[in-house]
Amino acid sequence: MNNTMFIQIVDAKAEQLLYNLEDLHLIRVLAKPIQTKQKLSEKYAGKLPSQMTEALEQYIAQSRSQWNERSI
């Protein structure tokens, strides 16, 4: 028998159980845990110095006000 299944593990106990079954040569774990992508907001949180952040926020506010004041 050679069936392949894709499963999602929802509990750490289930993951350990799968590895135990692999040790008994009953199954073969093909894929190691997949890392989820980190959100960009989490990745870059706190990376800009506070002074630069304030300048950027002022620039954004100014740009938005200019956009709202334009005549079409």
Question: By the 8 A CB rule, do 48 and 60 touch?
Answer: no
Establish if 34 belongs to a structural domain: yes
What's the structural domain count of the chain? 1
Give the CA angle between residues 13, 17, 19 to the nearest 5°.
120
Give the CA angle between residues 23, 27, 28 to the nearest 5°.
85
pTM of the complete model: 0.41
Residue 62's domain comprises 12-69
> Rounded to the nearest 5°, which phi and psi values hold at 64?
-65, -40
Structure tokens at 10: 């929802």
The pLDDT value given to residue 32: 67
Establish if 48 belongs to a structural domain: yes
Per-residue pLDDT tens digits for 3-57: 888 888 899 999 999 999 999 999 998 876 667 788 888 888 888 888 888 999 9
